[in-house]
Homo-oligomer: A and B are copies of this chain.
Amino acid sequence: MLKLSRLTDYAAVVMAQIARHSQTSHAAADLAEAVQLPHPTVSKTLKMLARAGLLVSQRGAQGGYRLARPASQITAADIIAAIEGPVAMTECSQAEGDCELVATCGVADNWQRVSLAMRTLLESVTLAHLADTAPIKLPVQLPIQTISLSAVSA
């Protein structure tokens, strides 16, 4: 189904919530309340996002989380990577080429190209887009040559 894990889904929702009120800090409990999800889970998600550098945390009274940079500079790929690790469709799309089947596989190279195109797509969608309650209206035109598989050469 190629779907996001539930935590990643939560992460996107929480990030969008923060992005919509980016002036103030948000306590984990408040966010959990706002998005109607269990507190510990939201907390865990926030910690991951902070560790990935997408949020900055402030301890103590009046503390909480806020965006580390403008929503327009945080991409869907960033959020996914923060929770699930780098976007890669197959084992061998990752750095460590510990797949012993490369010889008989024969599709590795091409999967990597597809994988790269997907990553490009996800990098073109920003948190600002996601947080916008209205449908994405901007003509987010991807550079055609980055999507064209011919240009996605290693």
Contact = CB atoms under 8 A, between A and B. Distances in A.
B141 A148 contact: yes
Interface in A57-114: 76, 80, 84-91, 93, 101, 104-107, 109-111, 113-114
Contacts of A34: 104
A124 to B, nearest CB: 8
Copies in the complex: 2
A29 interface: no
B139 A110 contact: no
Interface of A: 1-4, 6, 9, 12-13, 16-17, 20, 34-37, 76, 80, 84-91, 93, 101, 104-107, 109-111, 113-114, 117-118, 121-122, 125, 129-133, 135-142, 144, 147-150, 152-154
